[in-house]
Structure formats: C-alpha cells, structure tokens
Amino acid sequence: MKVFISRLIPEIAATMIREAGHDVTQFVERRDIPIDEMIELCKGHEGFLNVSHNKLDKHFLEASSHLKVLSLFSVGYDHVDIAAATKLKIPVGHTPGVLSASTADTAFMLMLTVSRKAFYLHKSIGKGEWNYYDPIANLGMELTGKTLGILGLGKIGFEMAKRCKGAYDMKVIYHNRGTNPEAEKAFDAERVSFADLLNQSDVLSVHSSLNSETAGLFNAAAFKQMKPTSIFINTSRGGLHNEADLLNALTGGTIWGAGLDVTNPEPMNADNPLLNLPNVAIVPHIGSATIEARTGMARIAAMNIIAGLNGERLPYPVNPEIYK
Ligand code: DGY
C-alpha cells in the first residue's frame, strides 16, 4: 500500500514503513500545504502521516474517506475533527509519552528563564546596555519553596512537577477533571478548583489539551485572579490563552511574567510586542524538538501507520471507539 508523509521527519519513519512492505511518498517542500492540495496529495494513498498542525476538518476527512489510517506526528489532536474521522471509521493515531520529558524541560526552562529575565538581558547586552554592575537592576525572582500550579496534570505535567519538586522543592497543586493519584503520592500534589489554581500559584504551567472547555481559558478575568508576582507558562496550545489579555496583564502588572512555547497564531509575528517585554520568554513551539523525542515520535507514528494498513488496532489510537 501507499503512504503519504506531509513533511520531512526523522528517516526512521519512512524506513519502518518501507520495511513493512509499503511505498512512501514524502512532501519535501518547506511550506504549509493548503487543505485542497492536501486532499489531492492524499489521493491514491491508503496511509497518511500528517506532520503539520493545519486543520484536518470534516471536508478533508470526507474527501479522504479512502484512508485506512491517519497517523499524527504529535500528541495533540485538536487540529483534527476526530468525530468526523470516527464516523468515517478512519483510525487516528498520535504519539504520547515520548515527548513528555522534552516538553517538561521546555516548560521548566521557560520558568527559569522568565524568573531571571534571561532572554531579555541576553538581548540587552547586544544592544550595548551592559555598562556597569548595577546591584538594584535586573532583579529576578527565586523559585525555591514556591507553589507550582498545573492545569492538566497528565504525563507532561507529571514530568514538570518532578523537575520543580526536585530542583526547588515546590509545592504542587493541580486542576484536572479527575484526580492524579500517582502525582499525589509522588509529589504530595493537591487537586484544587480552577479559582484556587489561579490565586495560589506562583508559577502556573499549562499542560491541558485544547478543546471547547479550555479554549481562551486564560483571559483577562483569569489573569486578574492570579498573583501579581506570578509567572504564566504555556507549552500546550496558544489557543488556551488570549494573547491581547496576556499582554495587558503583563504590561499592567496583573501578573509578573510569562513563558510561551505556543502562541496564537503560529508562527508569531516578528513585531509582536510580547517579544520586547523584560519578563517574557518565547520559543517557537519546540516542546518536542529534541533528537530523542522527534525520533520517538517518528517511530510511533510509523507503528500506527503499519498497524492501520494491516487492519490492526493502532498501538496509540485517539479514537479507539471505532474498534467497538
Ligand atoms: C504535540 O505533539 O502535540 C506537540 O505540540 C508537537 O507537535
């Protein structure tokens, strides 16, 4: 059978798929593929390994109902109309687990960077602003003993809690739909209401998926309930925070700082005012950008493709209900 891969990813994916006896077509141009072009490209392929975060909506899925498997090169699947895929009996796979450590590292790095204004000060040296040693300038904030609040304590949130507990003995609170007994045991983590998460966290790190309940959750009203000394970190999806409200919260002193791996829209414009604020650190969606994580993602994405083409249950399905 034939598999379409929509971007260059670690070679292991194509190798595994070819070794399983299938043909691979890989899109090598470094640009986003418009949806109607994607529909054309997927024609004649039974497997589709999708790499971008572009919307795969009902229109795309109905036009691609011949697919035996849709394998995502991501753990997040907010960009796919899963209900439509399920209705069309297209199994959708994703890549959980392998990127948890690297994404938590990114959140931790942003927290530390923001707490010491590191990116801003790095840029200020290049602008010739380091003229003498000033003991009352450039003051950051220590993290030891502070409270880490996690929205969405799953695999990535667990890794973030582990790092913050180990490095700074931070108190861990979290807001989830259900409890996370493993985290409660390992870190003495306490499940709290969303309101308490906002008003008790010194560092609030977002690890929840983007869905109708979480879209725009961090808006002016939410930032207003946070401490003026708090740091907001988002490594999940830009859609969870309102960027204009975040800018106002930072410039107005409602919160102290912010670290973002995800923005809305992506890519972020070069003239975005958030990029020039002292207590802000922004990186271009690099949560899973390590050799280890991206290789693991390629491997899992290939495993999902191969299982789907064989008519077997995907090892990492997003819509397991299609097997009922
Ligand atoms: C994911 O896996 O969802 C990350 O955002 C990287 O794409």
Distance 185 CA to ligand 1 centre (A): 28
Q: Is the CB of 76 under 6 A from ligand 1?
A: yes
Does 82 lie in the same domain as 114? Answer: no
**pTM for this predicted structure:** 0.97
Distance 251 CA to ligand 1 centre (A): 29
Q: Provide mean pLDDT across the span 116-137.
A: 97
Q: Provide mean pLDDT across the span 261-275.
A: 97
Give the number of domains in the chain: 2
Does 193 lie in the same domain as 50? Answer: no
With a cut of 90, say whether residue 54 has pLDDT above it.
no
With a cut of 90, say whether residue 53 has pLDDT above it.
no
Q: Is the CB of 99 under 6 A from ligand 1?
A: yes
Distance 74 CA to ligand 1 centre (A): 4
Q: Where are the beta strands (DSSP E) in 182-301?
A: 190-191, 203-206, 231-234, 257-260, 280-282
Does 122 lie in the same domain as 9? Answer: no
- Model pLDDT, residue 187: 98
Does 140 lie in the same domain as 268? Answer: yes
Q: Per residue in 66-78, pLDDT tens? A: 999 999 999 999 9
Q: Per residue in 86-122, pLDDT tens? A: 999 999 999 999 999 999 999 999 999 999 999 999 9
Round to whole Å and give the CA distance between 101 and 40. Answer: 36
Distance 236 CA to ligand 1 centre (A): 8
Does 122 lie in the same domain as 246? Answer: yes
Q: Per residue in 182-232, pLDDT tens? A: 999 999 999 999 999 999 999 999 999 999 999 999 999 999 999 999 999
Contact present, 47 and 68 (Cβ < 8 Å): yes
Q: Which of 175, 237, 241, 294 is catalytic?
A: 237
Does 296 lie in the same domain as 273? Answer: no
Q: Provide mean pLDDT across the span 55-64.
A: 97
Does 157 lie in the same domain as 65? Answer: no
With a cut of 90, say whether residue 312 has pLDDT above it.
yes
Domain that holds residue 85: 2-97+290-323
Does 260 lie in the same domain as 310? Answer: no
Name the helix (H) or strand (E) containing 173. Answer: strand 171-175
Round to whole Å and give the CA distance between 162 and 74. Answer: 23
Q: Is the CB of 47 under 6 A from ligand 1?
A: no
The atom of ligand 1 lying closest to the CA of 262 is 5
Ligand 1: residue whose CA is nearest its atom 3: 76
| CATH number, domain containing residue 90 | 3.40.50.720
Q: Residue 285 catalytic?
A: yes
Does 220 lie in the same domain as 264? Answer: yes
Does 314 lie in the same domain as 174? Answer: no
Does 203 lie in the same domain as 106? Answer: yes
- Model pLDDT, residue 82: 98
Report the share of the chain in percent with pLDDT over 90: 99
Q: Is the CB of 238 under 6 A from ligand 1?
A: no
